[in-house]
Amino acid sequence: MFLARRAAHSLGRAQLARGLSSRASAILSSLDISTTEEIPGVYDGQWRGSGDIFSSVCPTTGETLAHVRTATPQELHDAIGRAREAYTVFRHVPAPRRGEILRQIREALAAKRDELGSLVSLEMGKIKTEGRGEVQEFIDICDYAVGLSRMMNGNVVASERPGHSILEVPNPLGVVAVLSAFNFPVAVYGWNLALSLAAGNATIWKPSPSTPLCSIAVARIVARVLESNGIPGAVAGLVTGGKEAGAAIAESRDIELVSFTGSEHVGRIVGKNVMSRFGKTILELGGNNASIVMPDADLSLAVPAVFFGAVGTAGQRCTSTRRLYLHSDIASEFLGRLTKLYSTVQPADPLVDGTLLGPLHSSAALKMYSNTIDHLRSIGAEILTGGNRYTDAPLDAGNFVQPTISIPKSVDPKAPIWSTETFAPILNVATFDHLEEAIAWNNAVPQGLSSSLWTRDIRNVGKWIGPGGSDTGIVNVNVGTSGAEIGAAFGGNKSTGWGRESGGDAWKQYVRWSACTINFSDCAPLAQGVNFTA
Ligand code: UN1
């Protein structure tokens, strides 16, 4: 993935209002987003913003949706300061009370589920059911965090010394920064905010520069709940901005944890910068996910799942299926069925019910798609379907591309076409004869986010999820690579960054752990039998 920075230029107000379609203005006004004024893109208890103006551009129509006033470096600095102050208050609020605030945030989000979902479709470009699903994901993690607020338990550890107890105590951590990507402009923030808030931290959000409206709409909903509960708004701050803002956050010693979602390239820089000041990171970077289909798989399940994995969200999920390894016994039947499904896809406005294929998010994504297709052609890959942009009106106004299936000549997983994540609906296919070979290919790439095996044979399942099996963070069986629920920890290994967010034990990263040895006795023995008596 990448961070696409929109051109920062100011159009006149009248021009913005006149140019806006009714489709867009209905959604923006349902969320009280001005269609005429510049919108403040910084919240630290108060709404402000006097930095560069960023434009939000609709990927479907190319129209400018709004202009957002981002943070100046000073405003960013102040917002971090206010987050720290807010943390010193919020850490004393009992965790179940924090849970009650999360419950109210959950209710406020649910009341605007459709409106927010449509805004995601409008600004990011994913189809309506997926936009709505993303808001649902935020709601789900709020539910999870409400429960968590009464279950963030520490441990009591047996001490080797008489009259002693050892406690492992989780305390609030401090300020957590969330640097999120364009492709999940609501849910990924939700995963982080819900856990961070339950844990008693202040959170500061720098969203992708190209999805500022989603972040402003969400931040307003959260801010209203905080304010009505007498909690400082800077507990959930927002700072829109570009690369410089992200870099300043990575370098700030006032931020304990930086949770970054984005490309391996940027993640490497963020990771190094945060580590150089001994801060904590959660990195969710590239995915290059494979599905493996065995001859005993139920193809009536596997084919539609691979279709969703590769074409859903126009291939712009970290978890999208990018590699397909087919057993040679079923390869030709599978590809026949899959290409038939591809041929039914009609690109259209993602806001129209029934659309399955919306646009890519940006012109940069379009370029990445075209470059990869050119590369596939240059290495003599067979393009089974797709390979072109949609250039007829009205699709030419947006970033529409044909979902593509290709068969590269080389199956070498180290070749660039197999080892690089292309954030677009391009599926590369190879055939194999033995599961071990497919698992080796699955594991041979730098990334390690998600993978999926299709089989009915329990012995294959054992191999796949065991020590010699898939090395990704998400290892599915008869379930596609994308579309994880919030209950398990989400994240990947290797160059995906080893981060874990959302469910499972992910919350443990958002707290400061204290190992407390307490002596209740009248003696003070040393551990390990050490004698230091004078
Ligand atoms: C992402 O693409 O950054 O598992 C997140 C999924 C979604 C989350 C994807 N629940 O596809």
Q: Give residue 519 CA to ligand 1 midpoint distance, Å.
A: 47
Q: Which atom of ligand 1 is nearest to the CA of 317?
A: 2
Q: Which atom of ligand 1 is nearest to the CA of 482?
A: 11
> Hey, what are 19's tokens?
């140019």
From the number of C-beta atoms within 10 Å of its C-beta (0-12, 13-18, 19+), residue 532 rates as exposed
- Residues spanned by the domain of 121: 13-285+505-511
Q: Which atom of ligand 1 is nearest to the CA of 486?
A: 10
Alpha carbon 172 to its chain centroid, in Å, reads: 23
Is 520 a domain residue? no
pLDDT at 307: 98
Find the DSSP H helices in 125-176: 128-148
User: What is the spatial distance between Cα 313 and Cα 182, in angstroms, rounded to a whole number?
Assistant: 12
Q: Give residue 122 CA to ligand 1 midpoint distance, Å.
A: 19
117 lines ligand 1 (CB under 6 A): no
pLDDT band at 439 (very low <50, low <70, confident <90, very high): very high
pLDDT at 35: 87
Query: For position 214, which CATH number holds?
Result: 3.40.605.10
Cα dihedral across residues 226, 228, 231, 237: positive or negative: positive
> Hey, what are 412's tokens?
């070498």
The pairing of strands 382-385 and 155-157 is unpaired
- 233 lies in the same domain as 84: yes
pLDDT at 234: 98
* Residue where the block lists tokens 């929109």: 6
357 lines ligand 1 (CB under 6 A): no
With beta carbons less than 8 A apart as the criterion, state whether 481 and 321 touch: yes
184 lines ligand 1 (CB under 6 A): yes
Helix (H, G, I), strand (E, B) or coil at 263: coil
Q: Give residue 247 CA to ligand 1 midpoint distance, Å.
A: 24
175-187 in b/e burial notation, b at 16+ Cβ within 10 A? bbbbbbbbbbbbb
Strand intervals (E) in 114-216: 155-157, 164-172, 175-179, 202-206
Per residue in 171-202, pLDDT (tens digit) is 999 999 999 999 999 999 999 999 999 999 99
483 lines ligand 1 (CB under 6 A): yes
pLDDT at 6: 40
Among 13-27, 122-136, 312-326, the range scoring the smallest mean pLDDT is 13-27
Enter the pTM of the model. 0.95
Is 194 a domain residue? yes
- 295 lies in the same domain as 272: no
- 259 lies in the same domain as 334: no
CA atoms within 13 A on the CB side of 14: 0
Q: Give residue 317 CA to ligand 1 midpoint distance, Å.
A: 6
User: What is the spatial distance between Cα 134 and Cα 37, in angstroms, rounded to a whole number?
Assistant: 28
pLDDT band at 308 (very low <50, low <70, confident <90, very high): very high
pLDDT at 1: 38
**Residue of the CA atom closest to atom 7 of ligand 1:** 483
- 191 lies in the same domain as 329: no
- 280 lies in the same domain as 367: no
pLDDT band at 342 (very low <50, low <70, confident <90, very high): very high
Query: Average pLDDT for residues 133-162, to the nearest whole number?
Result: 98
Amino acid at position 513, single letter = W
pLDDT band at 14 (very low <50, low <70, confident <90, very high): very low
The pairing of strands 511-519 and 236-239 is unpaired
Query: Average pLDDT for residues 430-455, to the nearest whole number?
Result: 98
Query: Average pLDDT for residues 504-526, to the nearest whole number?
Result: 98
183 lines ligand 1 (CB under 6 A): yes
- What is the C-alpha radius of gyration for the chain, rounded to an integer number of angstroms? 24
The residues that are catalytic are: 284
Q: Long-range CB contacts (< 8 A, 24+ apart) of 387-396? A: 390/347, 394/61, 395/347, 395/359
- 280 lies in the same domain as 308: no
- 182 lies in the same domain as 231: yes
- 225 lies in the same domain as 110: yes
- 232 lies in the same domain as 281: yes
DSSP bridge partners of 203: 176, 236
Query: Average pLDDT for residues 78-102, to the nearest whole number?
Result: 98
Amino acid at position 326, single letter = L
The pairing of strands 42-43 and 450-454 is unpaired
- 237 lies in the same domain as 383: no
482 lines ligand 1 (CB under 6 A): yes
Contacting residues for 387 by C-beta, under 8 A, at least 6 apart: 373, 376, 377, 402, 404, 406
User: DSSP secondary structure string, 26-54?
Assistant: HHHHHTT--SSS-EE-EESSSEE--S-EE
Query: Average pLDDT for residues 454-464, to the nearest whole number?
Result: 98
With beta carbons less than 8 A apart as the criterion, state whether 383 and 406 touch: yes
Q: Which atom of ligand 1 is nearest to the CA of 284?
A: 3
φ/ψ (deg, to 5) at 132 = -65, -40
Domain count, the chain: 2
pLDDT at 458: 98
pLDDT reading at 432 higher than 60? yes
Q: Give residue 261 CA to ligand 1 midpoint distance, Å.
A: 11
pLDDT reading at 496 higher than 70? yes
Query: Average pLDDT for residues 296-312, to the nearest whole number?
Result: 98
φ/ψ (deg, to 5) at 5 = -95, 125
pLDDT at 2: 35
Per residue in 15-72, pLDDT (tens digit) is 454 579 999 999 999 999 998 899 999 999 999 999 999 999 999 999 999 999 999 9
Is 534 a domain residue? no
Is 499 a domain residue? no
**Cis peptide leading into residue 394 (ω within 30°):** yes
- 238 lies in the same domain as 319: no
Is 518 a domain residue? no
Is 498 a domain residue? no
Q: Which atom of ligand 1 is nearest to the CA of 137?
A: 10
Percent of the chain with pLDDT over 90: 96
Query: Average pLDDT for residues 1-21, to the nearest whole number?
Result: 46
**Residue of the CA atom closest to atom 6 of ligand 1:** 483
Is 177 a domain residue? yes
Query: For position 422, which CATH number holds?
Result: 3.40.309.10
Q: Give residue 51 CA to ligand 1 midpoint distance, Å.
A: 31
pLDDT band at 508 (very low <50, low <70, confident <90, very high): very high
- 401 lies in the same domain as 265: no
283 lines ligand 1 (CB under 6 A): no
Alpha carbon 298 to its chain centroid, in Å, reads: 30
Element (H, E) at 366: helix 363-378
Question: Which of 132, 289, 482, 500, when mutated, tests ligand 1's pocket best, judged by the most ligand atoms within 8 Å of its CB?
Answer: 482
Per residue in 244-272, pLDDT (tens digit) is 999 999 999 999 999 999 999 999 999 99
With beta carbons less than 8 A apart as the criterion, state whether 289 and 428 touch: no
